[in-house]
Amino acid sequence: MQPSVELPPPPAARPPCSTRVLVVDDDPDTAEITAVMLRLWGHEVQTATDGPTALRLARGYRPQVILLDLGLPGMDGCEVARRVRREVEGVVLVALTGFGDPEHLQRVRDAQFDHFLLKPADPEVLRTWLAGTAV
């Protein structure tokens, strides 16, 4: 019989890093599924399904990251991005869209997005990327 060994206590559980994210998609189901996934990963999330609401939330909620679809009613994602750049400091803008042709990529660059993800985005890529932006 071997003598018992006292194990050190387990390390204190670290709370997950959290990022304030605004998910903007004209499809309410897509916006909500994305939001649920992000919340499961420990992030704070709000959603919008049109451009004007996205801009209002960006001003008040002050997200650290906006996942922004381009095809939105009321105001397209590129116009939302341009206005966010003028009105909200320090936000990371990610174009999350099904449009990947050269014309749309140029529009994304012109609107000063920081990153571009083609739908459907790989959840693991998104999770890893967001973990790196968490404060």
pLDDT digits (tens, 9 = 90+) for 8-39: 554 444 445 789 999 999 999 999 999 999 99
Nearest one of 31, 75, 70 to 56, comparing CA atoms: 75
Q: Is residue 132 part of a domain?
A: no
| The pLDDT of residue 50 is above 60 | yes
| Residue 129 within a domain | no
pTM metric for this prediction? 0.85
Q: Is 36 helix (H, G, I), strand (E, B) or coil?
A: helix
Is the residue at 43 inside a domain?
yes
Residue 5 has pLDDT above 80, yes or no: no
- Summary mean pLDDT of the chain: 87
pLDDT, average across residues 42-70: 96
Residue 2 lies in a domain: no
Is residue 106, in this structure, part of any structural domain at all?
yes
Number of structural domains (the chain) is 1
CATH number of the domain that 65 lies in? 3.40.50.2300
Say if CB 120 and CB 52 are below 8 A apart.
Answer: no
Position 86 in a domain? yes
| Mean pLDDT across 91-101 | 90
Tell me the per-residue pLDDT of 99-115, one tens digit each, with 9 for 90 and over.
Answer: 888 998 999 999 999 99
SS3 34: helix
Residue 37 lies in domain: 20-122
Instruction: Report d(CA 71, CA 133) in Å as an integer.
Output: 25
In a domain, 60, yes or no: yes
Is the residue at 130 inside a domain? Answer: no
